[in-house]
A = this chain, B = another copy of it.
Amino acid sequence: MLSEHGLKITPQRIAILDVIMALNCHPTADIICDHLRINYPHISIGTIYKTLDAFLSKGIIKKVQSESDTARYDGVHERHHHLYCAETERIEDYYDDGLNQMVNDYLRKKRIKNFVMEDFKIQITGKFTDKTTN
């Protein structure tokens, strides 16, 4: 996966990618760091940020769009949207192919003036009625 994108393979990068894929929540850099330190006590937070940037620019991960001040990352590639509770900052993935197609068709046909659409994301805000598992 790393070499596919022309990134040098290092133990740190493998570990970081593993953690993001294993935690399939939407972790902050600090949360990623906490998990890495278990097996990798000396990894530097700077390295984590630089690696996350490298992954972002290659499209291996995405930043989650949110209103909060600390960045959160997402390793899921399939097209999906987010359920978001402003109160608790909890974010869950929402998969819905029917919704994707419907909105995609609509926007493609619409042809927005002065804009070429590449992608879209829906944030569905509200309240969760169950408990977190993380």
Contacts and interface: CB of A to CB of B under 8 A. Distances in A.
Contacts of A115: 83, 92, 124, 126-129
A65 B67 contact: yes
Interface residues of A, number: 36
A47 interface: no
Contact of A130 (B92, B114, B122): B114
22 contacts: A63-B67, A65-B66, A65-B123, A67-B71, A69-B71, A83-B112, A94-B112, A96-B110, A98-B106, A99-B103, A99-B107, A102-B106, A103-B103, A112-B124, A114-B129, A115-B127, A115-B129, A116-B127, A118-B126, A119-B125, A119-B126, A122-B122
